[in-house]
């Protein structure tokens, strides 16, 4: 499987378990690695045969900014689900999500999750 990388996506969203975190949007940094078959795009030089990086970055940013979660785990799960539902060419999504300064004496906290399209969802 081939991989498309989109790194350094920044969104501002309401996320956190403490009341002060729910008052103002906080930055969330995201990196995506999308597993897909890039051969058709490489052979045809046709954007319709690949994933539109800008559209994906725009969607992830908009979805994160519209979200309301307490846990970054829940936000990450939601974003992976939406990507797999919205982009049929995506076979897997690896998302790294970082929440800068969530802990006062730490630069970043975050996680990486990877989700794959269910076998029944694969297009033949």
Note if 99 is an active site residue.
yes
Q: State the Cα torsion 57-62-65-69 to the nearest 10°.
A: -90
Catalytic residue (choose from 22, 54, 82, 99): 99
d(CA 78, CA 30): 13
d(CA 120, CA 10): 33
d(CA 102, CA 111): 13
Active site residues: 99
């Amino acid at each position: 499987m081939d991989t498309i990388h989109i790194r350094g996506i920044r969104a501002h969203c309401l996320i956190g378990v403490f009341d002060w975190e729910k008052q103002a949007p906080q930055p969330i940094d995201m990196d995506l690695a999308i597993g897909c078959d890039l051969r058709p795009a490489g052979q045809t030089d046709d954007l319709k045969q690949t994933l539109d990086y800008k559209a994906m970055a725009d969607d992830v940013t908009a979805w994160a900014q519209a979200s309301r979660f307490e846990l970054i785990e829940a936000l990450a799960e939601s974003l992976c689900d939406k990507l797999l539902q919205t982009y049929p060419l995506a076979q897997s999504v690896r998302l790294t999500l970082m929440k800068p300064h969530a802990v006062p004496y730490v630069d970043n906290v975050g996680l990486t999750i990877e989700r794959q399209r269910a076998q029944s969802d694969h297009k033949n």
